[in-house]
Structure 1
Amino acid sequence: MTETYRKIAHIRAERFDGSKEMIAKYNIQDSRDSGYNDTDCEDEGLCIPTYEGWLRIDSSDWIATGIDGEHWVIDDTIFRKTYEEVNDDD
């Protein structure tokens, strides 16, 4: 029988703005640059390294950081439907 669950762990997240600072902070690469070699993200534009490999990221996507420091990309629409901001003391 299928049960319903919700996540109980908090994440850290920030909205990707395309800035050079965020690109450097998260080691984001442009797959269109010569010398880039990752077939999962080839010719797609900006990509961020994750546990699952390189993922495409666009401005306005959210970069989530999990409990082990891992990163993943969340589309803005999905992020706003599934996450809400909490106080650090919650």
Structure 2
Amino acid sequence: MKFYRKQPIEAEQFDGSDEMVDKYELIDAGTMLGTHHSPELYLTGSGKVDVGDWIATGVNGEHWLIADDVFKQTYAELPVIPKAVADWIEKCKHDGTSVGDMLCYERQPEKVRDWIELTPGTYDFNQRRYAEHQDLVARAWLDGYTVEEDK
């Protein structure tokens, strides 16, 4: 048996809005049967859509449903990191630096080191924060990331 890792996925949680019904071309069950309007909506080829389900989009624009409980067990949001950390990751990847060297304290720019290890406002070293942010940066390197909005 072979095991494969999950790739990042583009998905949106269905909120029942008309905008999402139109965006994903959801079909009213009554219209499908030629009778009357029904509160039940369907995604072509995937089945009934309930509020809270996730609609995933594939690389070729195809859509499929994922139940909320399955989605939450299977996927995690991409890490959100500051621009300085994102720039550091991209520089290291461009330069052929290993993930281990990218995480090396002595090699990191000061802004990256400070974000990883210091509690904002107090500038105290926090071991738990350090470990969590090291993991977050490694995940961002491997899975991708979202850059934190300026405050």
TM-score between the two structures when normalised by the length of structure 2:
0.46
1:17-36 equivalences in 2 (<5 Å): 17-33=15-31, 36=32
Per-residue CA distance 1:8-53 (angstroms, 9 max, x = gap): 3x221111011111001110011123xx25xxxxx8921012xxx2
Q: Which amino acid aligns with 1:46?
A: L
Q: Which letter does structure 2 place at the counterpart of 1:7?
A: K
Please give the alpha-carbon distance, in whole angstroms, between the structure 1 residues aligned to 2:43 and 2:69.
Answer: 19
> Counterparts in 2 of 1:7-86, with a 5 A limit?
7-8=6-7, 10-33=8-31, 36-37=32-33, 45-49=40-44, 53-86=45-78
Per-residue deviation, 1:87: 5.0
Task: Classify the secondary structure of the residue corresponding to 1:21.
Answer: helix
Runs of 4+ that moved beyond 6 A: none
Structure with greater helix percent:
2
Partner Cα distance (2:46, 2:62) in 1: 13
Structure with the bigger percentage of strand: 1
Rounded to whole Å, the distance in 2 between the matches of 1:48 and 1:66 is 14
2:96 alignment partner in structure 1:
none
Taking every aligned residue pair, what percent have the same amino acid on both sides?
Answer: 44
Q: Distance in 1 between matches of 2:14 and 2:75?
A: 16
Alpha-carbon offset, residue 77 of structure 1: 0.2
Q: How many residues align?
A: 78
Which runs of no fewer than 5 residues in structure 1 stay unpaired? 38-42
State whether residues 44 and 56 of structure 1, in contact with CA within 8 Å, keep that contact through their aligned partners in structure 2: no
User: 1-side partners of 2:78 and 2:72: how far apart?
Assistant: 13
Larger Rg: 2
Give TM-score, length-normalised by structure 1: 0.74
| Separation in structure 1 between the aligned mates of residue 46 and residue 4 of structure 2, nearest angstrom | 28
Gaps of 5+ in 2: 81-85, 87-143, 145-151
SS of residue in 2 equivalent to 1:32? helix
Deviation, 1:76, is 0.3
